[in-house]
Amino acid sequence: MIPHIPRSLLLFPLLFLLSSSASAPIPSSSPDLSPDPSPAGDDDGGSLLTDVSSATLNSVLDNILEIGLHPEAMSKVDVTSLGDSLGFGPKMRRHFTFEQGLVNLNHGSYGATPRIVLRRQEAWRRRMEASPDAWFRVDQYAEMDQVRAEVAEYIGGDAEDVAFVANTSGGVNAVLRSLLRGGGKVLCLNLAYQMVKNALSYIQEAFGEAVVTVEILPPFTQEGVLAAVEAALEANPDVSFAVVDHITSCPAMVLPVEQLVAMLKRKGVKVLVDGAHAIGHVPLDVSALGADFYVSNGHKWLYSPKSSAVLWASKDAQKDLYPTTISGLGKGGTPFQLQFSYLGTSDVTAYVAMGDALSFRRRIGGDAAIMAYLIALSSQGGDLLAARWKTSTLVSGDMAACAMVNVRLPPCDGNATAPRDLPWTLMEEYHTWVPTYQLVAGGDWWVRVSAQVLYID
């Protein structure tokens, strides 16, 4: 039995859809799982923004580029007008398959895959089943190579340095289990995703690798993060490997990853960047970043299907890198790509559909439009919640330049378990979910809320 939670806490998801018809509670007994009718012209290869002229879009994009993707600037933008200008908001909902009435505020976990991308994936899957030998022995490699080139260009890398993995967890584990074999020290942040901490704990127990955890505590600032890591390196000069986030999960914030990588590389430390939330979310140039490894999920913010992620490795770092599943070699490509291109019989259509996700992004206005809208919506939505609750948001400045916002929850009428149980209550009543968390044991409770292009009139 889920404990009672004050109704004031249950109503907050509806604030993100002030006038949207999608804000009605969903009956928990018989949810409507039927997809919306498919919009006409969905597959014509042109723009999906039928209500937006190219002149209007270009004018909006020029203004966005002039302002820059900074939360302070975007917080002053009229997000409703911006959405109208871009064709975003509830009109965009028809391009997704969410059940009737669902208010999805947790894109940071499972993303949002457009209807057209899912249809394209199904077409790839039908091709696989129509001629299995042709697909598994020849065709899948050609299709992956083509998409690999597109994805590599999108993230600022060379195609020969990119491999596909099912998710960030698989990519991170491949790197850690290939390179960390005991006798060294690896550095990570206390803000690391739990999967990373679990993988490092396994390596510590199995191989004796020492783990140095850097404590990053509020108030969160770029200077504070850099100072804490620098102090840890001075205290542990024998650190040889580090895992750092690009965008952390809970709390959600953009770390100064360029400065972190530069600092670590000056000390001779190999660096893996956990960019699980990055691709499609923030501008990327993995080659210029200078890390040894970079891994990112496509399903969270790129609009690609679940089980699609990319692992980039610098040329010098590839020779020691192997997947967690050792199988036969694929066809063509570099030795690095061969190791990852065939892991036994598996469905790679999610990888191939990443190209279709990139096409969808271009057809709804491109990265600048998407990122600007999400930052504006996240910033203003967070401020709205904080004002409603008389609380505050957690981070500001460049660390808040993402589509997820952290808002402190109000007191819960003496119910100490309410914040912990809130996600499950929302799931029971609204079929939606938000992560809640504490920064320190016994401290305030916070909620992470995600923005997306299909919200706000």
Is 149 found in the same domain as 15? no
Look at residue 418 in the predicted model and tell me its pLDDT.
78
> Quick one: 150 and 218 in the same domain?
yes
Tell me the pLDDT band of 357, cut-offs 50, 70 and 90. Answer: very high
Q: What is the mean pLDDT of residues 120-145?
A: 97
Which has the higher per-residue pLDDT, 93 or 8?
Answer: 93
Q: Which residue segment(s) compose the domain that 188 sits in?
A: 119-359
Q: Is residue 32 part of a domain?
A: yes
Handedness of CA 383, 386, 390, 395 (dihedral sign): negative
Task: Give the pLDDT of residue 63.
Answer: 61
pLDDT at 35 over 60: no
At 4, the pLDDT band (50, 70, 90 cuts) reads: very low
Among the candidates 359, 385, 401, a domain finishes at 359
Q: What is the mean pLDDT of residues 236-254?
A: 98
CB 255 within 8 A of CB 278: no
Residues 150 and 82 placed together within one structural domain of the fold: no
CA distances from 76 to 66, 402, 452 (A): 14, 16, 18
Dihedral, CA atoms, 118, 124, 129, 133, nearest 10 degrees? -150
Q: Identify which has the larger pLDDT, 73 or 279.
A: 279
pLDDT for 327: 82
85-126 pLDDT per residue, tens: 888 998 899 999 999 888 899 999 999 999 999 999 999 999
Query: Same domain for 233 and 335?
Result: yes
Number of structural domains found in the chain: 2
- pLDDT higher than 90, residue 29: no
Last residue of a domain, one of 300, 334, 359: 359
For residue 53, name the pLDDT band (cuts at 50, 70, 90). low
Q: Tell me the pLDDT band of 422, cut-offs 50, 70 and 90.
A: confident
Whether the per-residue pLDDT at 260 is higher than 60: the answer is yes
Inside any domain, residue 187: yes
What does the pLDDT average to over 15-36? 38
Task: Give dist(CA 445, CA 407) in Å, integer.
Answer: 9
Residue 395 lies in a domain: yes
Which pLDDT score, from 0 to 100, does residue 68 have?
Answer: 58
* Neighbouring residues of 54: CB distance < 8 A, sequence distance ≥ 6: 47
52 and 134 both lie in a single domain: no
Examine the domain organization and report whether 320 and 409 are in the same domain.
no
Note the pLDDT tens digit of each residue in 246-258: 999 999 999 999 9
Asked if residue 47 has pLDDT above 60, the reply is: no
Residue 113 lies in a domain: no
Tens digit of each residue's pLDDT (9 = 90 or more) over 436-446: 999 988 899 99
Asked if the structure places residue 297 within a domain, the reply is yes
Same domain, 349 and 378: no
- Domain final position from 307, 329, 359: 359
Pair 144, 87 in one domain: no
How confident is the model at residue 33, as a pLDDT?
32
Residue 21 has pLDDT above 80, yes or no: no
DSSP 46-73: S-S-TTS-HHHHHHHHHHHHHH-S-HHH
Report the C-alpha gap between 330 and 335 in whole angstroms: 9
Residue 1 lies in a domain: no
In percent, the amount of the chain with pLDDT more than 90 equals 66
Same domain, 97 and 235: no
Q: Check whether 423 has a pLDDT greater than 70.
A: yes
Instruction: Report the half-sphere exposure of 317 (CA within 13 A, side-chain side).
Output: 22
Q: Are strands 239-245 and 210-214 parallel, antiparallel or unpaired?
A: unpaired
3-state SS assignment for residue 393: strand
How many CA atoms lie within 13 Å of 424's alpha carbon, on the beta-carbon side? 10
Q: What count of other Cβ atoms lies within 10 Å of the Cβ of residue 227?
A: 12
pLDDT at 74: 65
What pLDDT, on the 0 to 100 scale, is given for residue 84?
84
What distance in Å separates the CA atoms of residue 336 and residue 152, rounded to the nearest whole number?
A: 15
CATH of the domain at 293: 3.40.640.10
Mean pLDDT across the chain: 86
Higher pLDDT, 42 or 300: 300
190/323 same-domain check: yes
Answer yes or no: is 455 within a domain.
no
Residue 37 shares a structural domain with residue 170:
no
Q: What is the mean predicted confidence (pLDDT) over 186-190? A: 98
Strands 293-297, 309-313: pairing is antiparallel
Sheet containing 309-313: order of strands: 162-165, 309-313, 293-297, 270-274, 239-245, 185-189, 210-214
Residue 2 covered by a domain: no
Average pLDDT in the 200-208 region?
95
**For residue 269, is pLDDT > 70?**
yes
Asked if the model's pLDDT at residue 326 lies above 90, the reply is no
Sheet holding 445-450, edge to edge: 404-408, 445-450, 436-438
pLDDT at 61 > cutoff 70 = no
The tokens for 180 are 């960390």
On whether both 246 and 186 belong to a single domain, the answer is: yes
Q: Is the pLDDT of residue 392 over 50?
A: yes
Least confident stretch, 220-234, 281-295, 297-311, 327-341: 327-341
